[in-house]
Structure 1
């Protein structure tokens, strides 16, 4: 929902399921206090792009974190097991396989994969060493859908983490 700051009345609302993409301005540029999102309007052939500038630059990260939280909640309400596999290439359902690899600086200018603790299902990270995060995304169904950008990454230590404990890494 977009609210008027003086009267707190709703100016517009955008259902989360219609938002297709969101992005923020790059740090150090005049757009660093901006964010934008694309929404499907009425049907798949018409799209709208909304661009906003925040008076407080730090608000942009909080807004994008709110988007991520809303996307997660929306995804939890519609479990993938309840969605039938798309029958046609024109379907709006896309399935991806995603894996995460964490690499640490080996001191020789290269990054080596961090070992996993098989019993606890977690990465064995060393303190005070530079890390590199590699995310592999592979589409498993439907026609090819290109991923152009990622607005951020939510990270937290541990398993079964509450959304409030996650930290947004801007990319």
Structure 2
């Protein structure tokens, strides 16, 4: 699969899949624009890598299970399956959302907001008397920059998702 097709297949953003590759997800062939070579990724290998990565993360969270009895292991497995199916059901009925998906949406909105707000000072300055336009532009830019500095949701959400 190409990088774009794999992203669609995994229901992830293309940049997220690129991060996976940077973190070690196997690829058959890396893209090289200069030589006209596209990404080639084996989807089965990619999914296997993601599962192993997820399993490793879970193992790190639950700690050492070697001293656990078979009954304790079965009980713990049942609890994890129940939690997993509850999360899947909640996702299905849209009660919860994946953090990365929400961050991607917020990031898209933030970029759009920056672009549109960036045009506001010039638009306002163009609609007032020429003698006042520079001062009006400066005031609008100052207010917009002040408001943008107050927006912390994207950076805070990213910090929290990494911890």
Kindly name which structure, 1 or 2, has the bigger radius of gyration based on alpha carbons. Answer: 2
Give TM-score, length-normalised by structure 2.
0.23
Higher helix share: 2
